[in-house]
């Protein structure tokens, strides 16, 4: 199966299935000397852990990571870091009724057509549980970025029609809200909306926003490996994400050039922008201002409402999906978005180290 690895210099390879014995990741390209413990990984994993909030799946996994390689006496060794998380709360019988039925909105049909076989227990490799490996890698990447004073923060911008307004944002409220929304008034309304969806045995989608601060200028490659292109690929690789915006996103199509351009000026001897419609990226490279991204997440496709579908024998039928499913994916996906952004920008930061001959000479002649 191709496509389980991401990155060129900071490379991650996820492995495992939703109802297998374990799931995990191999992270290669981590510099030697980084302080790293299983507790560091738990900080990120706790944010996506199932059973951690009233609007998530009732599958209650501890998600305790085991570092199998690449760390010695609390420091990374420069060799591949392998991390395993054991599955302890899978109930495969919940899926026996869909063994021969294609669930609407899931990868059942396409996966079976491609491989001629599928693991129907929780979606197997197509399950959102695969993202555990991404979050582990994100925790490692985040520690490295922090040493460079680069911060990455994701949060829930919207649940269904309820949008957190920027004028009421408070970063401390992100972790006070059970849905990671930085506007507690909007969070309360969104929680009411989710409760109504749950009573109707339905689900909701939403928007995750991510902000990167203190990025140096010039990160990203100007042609195929543009920073925004790589970030879009990273976020679109998350199963539930159906659209990605950078800066003003789709609104740019409604503007004139005079409205969309970000004028430059000199402030404290440095080039600055008077606005940030570009979302911190120009010509595929970071411009030194905040990078602003939004990932649009679809509603959870597993719902108890009756839906029309077909069997793998070509017979029409209906299905009502029961079991332990998230009525909304967004809150637990916030840290997944944050992790993929961390992984992507760290990979491109490493690539950028060879962009100038002077940088190479300076490094080796010190």
Q: What is the pLDDT of residue 94?
A: 55
Q: What sections of 148-240 are H helices per DSSP?
A: 171-174, 184-199, 227-236
Q: What is the pLDDT along the chain (366 residues), one digit of tens a residue?
A: 789 999 999 999 999 988 889 999 999 999 999 999 999 999 999 998 876 667 666 656 778 999 999 999 999 999 999 999 999 865 555 566 678 899 999 888 998 898 888 887 767 788 889 999 999 999 999 999 999 999 999 999 999 999 998 777 888 899 999 999 999 999 999 999 999 999 998 999 999 999 999 999 999 999 999 999 999 999 999 999 999 999 999 999 999 999 999 999 999 999 999 999 999 999 999 999 999 999 999 998 988 888 999 999 999 999 888 765 678 999 999 999 999 999 999 999 999 999 999 999 998 997
Q: What is the pLDDT of residue 127?
A: 86
Instruction: Determine the number of helices (DSSP H) and then strands (DSSP E) in the chain.
Output: 9, 18
Phi, psi dihedral angles at 155 (to 5 degrees): -160, 165
User: Coil, helix or strand for 237?
Assistant: coil
> Is the pTM for the entire model greater than 0.85?
yes
How far CA 47 is from CA of 41, 178, 183, 187, 360, in Å, comes to: 11, 10, 18, 17, 39
298 in Cβ contact with 243 (< 8 Å) = no
Work out whether the CA dihedral 226, 232, 235, 238 comes out positive or negative: negative
Q: What is the pLDDT of residue 124?
A: 76
Q: What is the pLDDT of residue 321?
A: 82
Q: What is the pLDDT of residue 91?
A: 57
């Amino acid at each position: 199966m191709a496509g389980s690895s991401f990155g060129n210099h900071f490379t991650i390879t996820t492995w495992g299935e939703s109802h297998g014995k374990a799931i995990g990741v191999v992270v290669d390209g981590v510099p030697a000397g980084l302080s790293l413990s299983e507790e560091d990984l738990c900080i990120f994993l706790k944010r996506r852990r199932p059973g951690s909030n009233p609007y998530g799946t009732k599958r209650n996994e501890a998600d305790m990571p085991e570092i199998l390689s690449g760390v010695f006496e609390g420091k990374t060794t420069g060799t591949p870091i392998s991390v395993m998380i054991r599955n302890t709360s899978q109930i495969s019988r919940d899926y026996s009724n869909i063994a021969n039925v294609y669930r609407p909105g899931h990868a059942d049909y396409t996966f079976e057509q491609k491989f001629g076989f599928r693991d129907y227990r929780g979606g197997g490799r197509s399950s959102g549980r695969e993202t555990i490996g991404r979050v582990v890698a994100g925790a490692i990447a985040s520690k490295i970025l922090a040493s460079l004073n680069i911060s990455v923060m994701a949060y829930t911008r919207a649940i269904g029609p309820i949008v957190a307004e920027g004028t009421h944002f408070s970063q401390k409220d992100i972790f006070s809200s059970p849905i990671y929304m930085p506007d507690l008034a909007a969070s309360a309304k969104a929680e009411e909306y989710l409760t109504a969806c749950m009573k109707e045995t339905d689900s909701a989608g939403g928007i995750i926003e991510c902000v990167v601060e203190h990025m140096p200028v010039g990160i990203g490659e100007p042609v195929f490996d543009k920073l925004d292109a790589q970030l879009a690929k990273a976020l679109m690789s998350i199963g539930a994400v159906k659209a990605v915006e950078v800066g003003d996103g789709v609104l740019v199509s409604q503007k004139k050039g005079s409205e969309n351009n970000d004028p430059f000026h000199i402030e404290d001897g440095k080039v600055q922008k008077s606005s940030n419609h570009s979302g911190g990226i120009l010509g595929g490279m970071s411009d030194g201002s905040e990078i602003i991204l939004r990932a649009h997440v679809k509603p959870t496709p597993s719902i108890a409402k009756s839906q029309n579908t077909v069997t793998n024998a070509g017979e029409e039928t209906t299905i009502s999906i029961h079991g332990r499913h998230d009525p909304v994916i967004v809150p637990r996906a916030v840290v997944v978005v944050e992790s993929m952004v961390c992984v992507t920008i760290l990979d491109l930061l490493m690539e950028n180290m060879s962009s100038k001959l002077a940088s190479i000479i300076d490094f080796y002649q010190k």
